[in-house]
A and B are shown apart, each in its own frame.
Chain A
Amino acid sequence: MDHTEHQDSRNSVLIIGGGIAGTKASFELAEAGRQVYLIDKAPSPGGILPQLDRQFPTNDCNICHLTPETAKGGGNLAITTLPLTRLSELTGQAGDFQARLLTSPRFIDVDKCTACGACLAACPEGAVRFTPGLDNTSPTCLRYPQATPQAFSINLERCTRCGQCLEVCHPKAIDLDMTPQESTLAVGAVIVATGAEPWDPAPFDEWYGYNQFADVITSLEFERILASNGPTGGRLRRPSDGRVPKRIGWIQCAGSRTTVPGGNPYCSSICCMISLKEAAWALERHDQGLDATIYFMDMRPLGRGYEEYLQRVKNELGVNLVRCRPHTVSRDAASGDLLLSYAQEDGSQAEQRLDMVVLAVGLCPSAETVALAQTLGIELDPYRYVQTAALSPVATSRPGVYACGMALGPADIPDSVVQAAAAACCASADLEPPRPLQLEEGLPPEKDTSGQEPRVGVFMVDWGHVVSAVVDLNAVMKDAAALPGVVHVAELEVNYRHGGLERLVAAIGEHGLNRVVIAGYSPRTHGKLFSQTIRRAGLNRALVEFANIRDQDALVHAADPQAATHKAMELVRMAVAGVKLARPIHLQTKPMRHDALVVGGGVAGLSAALALADQGVKVHLVEREKELGGLAKNLHRSLEGGEVAPALSQLIGRAKEHQGIDIISDALVVDHQGQVGAFVTGVQSGPGMYYQKINHGVTILATGAQEYKPGQYLYGRDPRVMTQLELEQRLAQGQATGGKLDSVVMIQCVGSRDENNPACGRICCRSAVKNALWIKEQRPESQVVVLYRDMRMPYTSEEAYRRAREAGVLFVRYSPQEPPQVEAKDGVLSVVFIDPVLGKPLLVEPEALVLSTPQVVAGENTEELCEIFRLQRGADGYLLEQHPKMAPVDTPAPGVFAAGSVLAPKSLAEARSQGLAAAGRALILLAQQSIAQQIGVAKVTPERCAACLVCVRACPLGVPFINADGYSEIDPGRCQGCGVCAAECPAKAIELQGYFDDQIMSRTDALLEGIL
């Protein structure tokens, strides 16, 4: 395999690692028309994510989000996936790299393998190698049921060459004589997404007994126990004797936040949430008197809405939280119980009997990343993750080489997804501008099916066998086959690339199908995918219907398989009845306007504007204030310790000088209309209120948050009481050096994690430690006391926390029931707090009291922004993203993206990544030459319209109007297809395409057949 001759380095990117970060980066680039080479050392890419059962805080299954993504590769996107492949050398420079690759033999020909599993069964140890340590490992391996490519592989090291597999393999796919293959790629940029590895508890066996006691498992192994496709089929069983555990204990920080050799000094950031999720899910799914207890030092839920999730899990689900230092696990030989010993906060020792212990293991840099860094010549940080800087959060030390996901350090999925889009955006800047993409490119002409008798194909799609676990699919298929109009019924194999989607396209041709029913998934998640697939077979996109026998049946009726099977038949009957009357909806296109509007000129907005403008997009940057810079203007040092002002003024300076950026400052957005590709936004600027309309194709909202100004603790009434930002100003002036800050008390969580603002401020702990260290740096003898509830110090900031303690900063925990008491009497400022170790009140009379206040939602502004752009806000008041995990910078409005602290409090690095990510997402749309308009809009039959104005009044978007001919007209470009007008129209003159009355009647008739 040698691509060198046929490929264009100026349009190609190499992505190393196929986990969620690498996969997302691939799609960001490929959808913008780039050629992507995705290599992964494993037989099937996927990374850690497929091993997780559920994801917090939504508790939905990851696979549902990942498979539609990987399946897109089955379409016409230019992604070449090379499994079992490593990079051996990278020469050249940004824009023109030569990458030498080495592909290990799979010993199975991917093109021939049908993933039938015969080889697996034939192998004596036969089991799927999926989770190390929990199920048996076989020489042949399919990593997970939804894997791409859908093919097994053989681990030659364990193969005995018995030859049995060769005999059973009918397609003759197995070839044990395959040899490693070398190849060279010319690419313009490289993205490292090699991820991290779970910590191995072996070095701590003395304490945790992971290798001694079968019932001590890691959090990742517990995920497999919970997973319906895992070794216990999703039944909660403990490994030693298969008994149902009644008492499960989670040990946090297993191998993290420790200086003991073999452990990690840093905080792995995501283990608290993983344990909360596992405990919650175990309770929800398996609660038969289950005691789920988490033993922890600090609870660190760090993402948006995670603090609220913690409260829900604790208060509503009854997960127990014990603040302590868990240290040793032993086993009572008589009862078989595990004994967990821990030190309580007051220093006393305690012990708990448990049936099962889950070690919340942290993450380690992957060996691959470390080796790769050498090959690439990029720098690593002290913990051996890829080194980046706060204001260039995805750029490595080698130009043209970027990194994202856990290769940069432990990260949650949304961080990985944001970094992936940011890395894709940066990589794209090293390439040539993309060739404008045409809609319908490479698709066959659409067949005219009008007047044809319906020939319906019904396809059962059941990833992960979720439906078949409850529903008798054969019975449903038999029933479907007997329905009039149905000419073909088949089960589609789980995977698209070598199975499903191609087979669907083929079946449409072979059986002359002109209608398709997909039974098994929600159109919400998979609608677009299947409508695109049938379009590839020459059918109109509207000629497919879904019978959601998964979400609406198998998942909710798991307890009653018989009734569920019956319901599945009914759902399929209804879908068949509906699809028979479906008519084609023809795609309407509009030219894409290649301007971008960025609202907000803080770090996120500036980053987005510059990234877009650097790639040739005309940007209109609207800023409310007279000056650019946002909240970062008040910052002197970043959380990582770097100086903010030089980097910020560089961003501002570049934006001001950039030919492609039109800055409108002192300005407000006052109105907005149109749709993706053709937005028109009214902006009013200056005291003269100069109003201008801006035409643009995409929008990025980055209006930020504001600093909370507390009313408590004498703030504003005593000059010695200040916020962290105000302290920072004084430190920048060197006030501690001058002896003005010899005694300082800081109070954490002022204005957060309370009734008014249940959210965590996310970065106030890190700001406090940063400033405490700064005081100590200016004057080591200063006394600094930090009163906290949980010190939330993710990843490297844990190190800063340790340094602060070593420098003599006192950290004292307070409980929200007994907050510190602050008083100013006779000119003396006093703070009284309870010391949890001594159990009694202590008094400090500081020179300064510093309140750690959060960024809070800019209430009125964000509210108005949402009004104008017709977007939703979360319960926390912040703008709501499309999906908290998988689409963190998208909004539900196509073409409208968001970045920075308009979404939740953000650090500088996060704001910058999000700005770049939003720009990356926007670039995909901007690469299109034209935009397809909403399918399924309302349509008026003029002859029936009485111009009664009901639709004009009913439409929430003000779309219908009475035209010059005297009837209601609906602009398909503006209609969002909500159907309100169609429902209200008394003359039935309006119909929503795809929801025709006769279709709905026909579906209902099918449901009620034989009953009425």
Chain B
Amino acid sequence: MQFASALQSKNFVVIAEMPTPKGVDLSGFVDSAQNLKGRVDAVLIPDMSHGVMRLSALAGAVVLKQQGLESIVQFCCRDRNRLALQGDLLAAHVLGVANIMASDGEPIETGDQPGAKAVGDLGAKDLLAAAMALSQGRDLGGKELMGRPRFCLGARVEGWEDAAQAQARAAEAKAAVDKGASFVVVPPVFDLAALAAFTQAAQGLRAPVIASVLLLKSVGMARYLNHNLPGSKISEETIQRIRAASDRAAECVKIAAETLSGLRPLCGGALLVAAGWEDRLPSILDAASA
């Protein structure tokens, strides 16, 4: 549980998001992970995010453990009922995967499995409660367990558009921590000042705030985010900077690295999200440490 202790001991932890492959060819997944070994505190493995069927996150975590990397496994409540969720939490423990992030999951219709049905038995908050119950030796049905699993739990909050909304999000974060979350992840930050609204409201939170750093890929993506992602404020200056660059992808890596460096004094950690460009994660780390 190095990650759990890093949360305690380090001022700033770095996590990288690494989706599992769609299929069973692990080469790219393992290669990307190898390039991150020793450079991040943990790897976050999403659980069929956006309803796209992939190799299960828990299996991915086990593969990375064999490679010597510690993972945080996302548990998406959309796809399993409370039996399966609790069973898999126990499975995670016995497989040596202790870091768990709960998520509600995006609408299943956005995914790639037409006709799929969402379960919706538990929500992310319920899952936190379930994990806490399990670690205290009982399941959600109140039945006693043989042996107690141990978890390091994380929670996610949504974005905010103004100070009032930031306040509400901070309250949600506090509730999650009260329920047992050891860290809280917030959505992508493009404007460091906008993060302050949240961190101020969340002062006194007994867990580190981990801000997401999303690697932009193009001008089109930046415009898209501003249009579609609530609270996303990518400045026109940044957009024109990408536009003027001779190598747009490289400029985007630089921008992500600058955000990463800028976050250090502001919060407890960063979650790097490359959304498909995982091969570029090391260059973000290089540029940020340069």
A693 within 8 A of B: yes
The majority secondary structure among interface residues of chain B is helix
Residues of B within 8 A of A861 (CB): 220
Contacts of A689 in B (CB 8 A): 214, 221, 275
Q: What is the interface of chain A mostly: helix, strand, loop, or mixed?
A: mixed
Q: Does B106 contact A688, Cβ atoms closer than 8 Å?
A: yes
Asked whether any CB of chain A lies closer than 8 Å to the CB of B243, the reply is yes
Select which of A684, A687, A692 is within 8 A of B217 by beta carbon: A684
Provide the bound-state CA to CA distance between A690 and B275, in Å: 7
A690 touches B50 (CB 8 A): yes
B219 partner residues in chain A, CB cutoff 8 A: 860, 863-864
Known: A682-B276, A688-B110, A692-B276. A670 touches B50 (CB 8 A): no
CB distance from A663 to the nearest CB of B (A): 12
| Contact indicator per residue, chain A 155-192, by CB within 8 Å of chain B (1) or not (0) | 00000000000000000000000000000000000000
Residues of A within 8 A of B224 (CB): 668
- Which residue of B50, B218, B277 contacts A686 across the interface (Cβ within 8 Å)? B50
Neighbouring A residues of B110 by C-beta, 8 Å: 686, 688, 690
Within 8 A of B (CB), among A835-888: 860-861, 863-864, 867-868
Cβ of A621 to closest chain B Cβ, rounded Å: 15
Q: Which residues of B contact A998 (CB under 8 A)?
A: none
Select the residue from A863, A864, A868 with max chain B CB neighbours within 10 A. Answer: A864
* In the complex, B234 has a CB within 8 A of chain A: no
Which B202-222 residues sit within 8 Å CB-CB of chain A? 214, 217-221
Interface residues of B in 51-71 (CB under 8 A from A): 52
Chain B positions within 8 Å of A684 at CB level: 217, 221, 275-276
For residue B45, give the distance in angstroms from its CB to the closest CB of chain A: 15
Contact of B49 with A by CB under 8 A: yes
Contact, CB under 8 Å: B243 / A860: yes
**B245 closest partner in A (C-beta):** A867
Q: Report if B248 contacts A (CB, 8 A).
A: yes
In the complex, A868 Cα to B247 Cα: how many Å?
10
Q: Which of A652-700 contact B (CB under 8 A)?
A: 668, 670-671, 682, 684, 686-693
The distance in angstroms between the C-alpha atoms of A624 and B223, with both chains bound, is 12
Query: Complex: how many Å from CA A684 to CA B220?
Result: 11
A811 to chain B, nearest CB (A): 41
**A691 lies within 8 A of B221 (CB):** no
Closest to A691 in B: B276
The answer to whether B218 and A693 touch across the interface, beta carbons within 8 angstroms, is no
Residue of A nearest to B225 (CB): A689
Indicate if the CB atoms of A693 and B276 lie closer than 8 Å: yes
CA distance A686 to B50 in the complex (A): 9
State how many angstroms separate the Cβ of B218 from the closest Cβ of chain A: 6
Interface residues of B in 187-240 (CB under 8 A from A): 214, 217-221, 223-224, 228-229
Indicate whether B249 reaches chain A with its CB closer than 8 angstroms. yes
Residues of A within 8 A of B52 (CB): 690
Closest beta carbon of chain B to A686's beta carbon, Å:
5
Shortest distance in angstroms between B29's beta carbon and chain A's nearest beta carbon? 13
Across the interface, name the chain A residue whose C-beta is closest to B223.
A860
Residues of A within 8 A of B218 (CB): 668, 670, 864, 867-868
Which residues of B have CB within 8 Å of A864? 218-220, 248
Check A671–B50 contact: CB distance below 8 A.
no
Q: Give the distance in Å from the alpha carbon of A682 to the alpha carbon of B224 in the complex.
A: 16
A682–B276 Cα gap in the complex (Å)? Answer: 8
State the Cβ distance, B229 to closest chain A Cβ, in Å: 6
A668 proximity list for chain B (CB < 8 A): 218, 220-221, 224
Q: Are B275 and A671 in contact (CB under 8 A)?
A: no
With A668-B221, A864-B220, A868-B218 known as contacts, the answer to whether A687 contacts B228 (CB < 8 A) is yes
Residues of A within 8 A of B223 (CB): 860
Q: How far is the CB of B168 from chain A (nearest CB, A)?
A: 21
Residues of A within 8 A of B106 (CB): 688
Residues of A within 8 A of B220 (CB): 624, 668, 670, 860-861, 864
Q: In whole angstroms, what is the CA distance A864 to B49 when docked?
A: 28
Nearest chain B CB to A792 CB, angstrom units = 33
Min distance, Cβ A670 to any Cβ of chain B, angstroms: 4
Chain A 910-927 per-residue mask, 1 if CB under 8 angstroms from chain B, else 0: 000000000000000000
Taking a contact as CB atoms under 8 Å apart, the answer to whether B217 and A671 are in contact is yes
Chain B residues with CB under 8 A of A686: 50, 110
B275 proximity list for chain A (CB < 8 A)? 684, 689-691
Q: How far is the CB of A449 from chain B (nearest CB, A)?
A: 42
Task: Select the residue from B220, B221, B243, B275 with max chain A CB neighbours within 10 A.
Answer: B220
Contacts of A688 in B (CB 8 A): 49-50, 106, 110
Q: Which residue of A lies closest to B227 (CB)?
A: A687
Separation in Å of the B22 CB from the closest CB of chain A? 8
Asked if A687 contacts B229 (CB within 8 A), the reply is yes
Shortest beta-carbon distance from A752 to chain B in Å:
25
Q: How far is the CA of A624 from the CA of B221 in the complex (A)?
A: 11
Mask: chain B, 268-290; 1 = CB below 8 Å from A; 0 = not: 00000001110000000000000
Question: Nearest Cβ distance between residue A980 and chain B, in whole angstroms?
Answer: 15
**Inside 8 A of A687's CB, which chain B residues have their CB?**
228-229
In the complex the two chains form, what is the Cα distance from A667 to B204 in whole Å?
A: 40
Taken together as a complex, chains A and B put the C-alpha atoms of A693 and B224 apart, in Å, by: 19
Residues of B within 8 A of A670 (CB): 217-218, 220-221, 276-277
Shortest CB–CB separation between residue A955 and chain B, in angstroms?
Answer: 12
Nearest chain B CB to A703's CB is how many angstroms away?
A: 10
Least CB distance from A657 to B in Å reads: 13
Residue in B closest to A687 when the chains form the complex, CB atoms: B228
State the CA gap A940–B40 with chains docked (Å): 37
A670, A671, A686 — which one has the most chain B CB atoms within 10 A of its CB?
A670
Docked pose: A668 CA to B225 CA in angstroms: 11
B243: A residues at CB distance < 8 A? 860, 863
Cα-based distance from A24 to B199 in the complex (angstroms): 66
Smallest CB separation, A958 vs chain B (Å): 9
Within 8 Å CB of B214, what residues of A? 689
A693 to B50, CA, bound (A): 16
Set A624, A690, A693, A867: member contacting B248, Cβ < 8 A: A867
The answer to whether A671 and B221 touch (CB under 8 A), given A684-B275, A687-B228, A688-B49, is no
B221 / chain A contacts, CB cutoff of 8 Å: 668, 670, 684, 689
Question: What A residues does B50 contact at CB under 8 A?
Answer: 686, 688, 690
Per the bound structure, the CA–CA distance linking A670 and B218 in Å amounts to 7
Whole-angstrom distance between the Cβ of A239 and the nearest chain B Cβ? 58
The complex places the Cα of A14 from the Cα of B52 at a distance, in Å, of: 48
Q: How far is the CB of B107 from chain A (nearest CB, A)?
A: 10
Task: Give every chain B residue within 8 A of A682 (Cβ-Cβ).
Answer: 217, 276-277
Nearest CB in chain A to that of B216: its residue = A670
CA distance A982 to B84 in the complex (A): 60
Type the 1/0 row for A683-721, where 1 means its CB is closer than 8 Å to any CB of B: 010111111110000000000000000000000000000
Closest A residue to B252 by beta carbon equals: A670
Chain B minimum-CB-distance residue to A865: B220
**Chain B's nearest CB lies how many Å from the CB of A662?**
10
In the assembled complex, the Cα of A868 lies from the Cα of B277 at a distance in Å of 15
Residue of chain A at shortest CB distance from B274: A691
The CA-CA distance from A342 to B95 in the complex, in Å, is 95
Could you tell me the distance in whole angstroms from the C-beta of B242 to the nearest C-beta in chain A?
A: 9
Q: Which residue from chain A places its CB closest to the CB of B52 in the assembled complex?
A: A690
B residues 240-258 near A (Cβ < 8 Å) are: 243, 248-249
CB distance from B36 to the nearest CB of A (A): 18
How far is the CB of A387 from the nearest CB of chain B, in Å? 41
A670-B218, A693-B276 given; 4 more Cβ-contact pairs under 8 Å: A670-B276, A684-B217, A684-B275, A686-B110
Interface set of A (CB-CB < 8 Å, partner B): 624, 668, 670-671, 682, 684, 686-693, 860-861, 863-864, 867-868
Give 11 CB contacts A-B under 8 Å: A624-B220, A670-B217, A671-B277, A684-B275, A689-B214, A690-B50, A690-B110, A691-B275, A864-B248, A867-B218, A867-B248
Closest 5 CB pairs of A and B: A691-B276, A688-B50, A670-B217, A690-B50, A668-B220
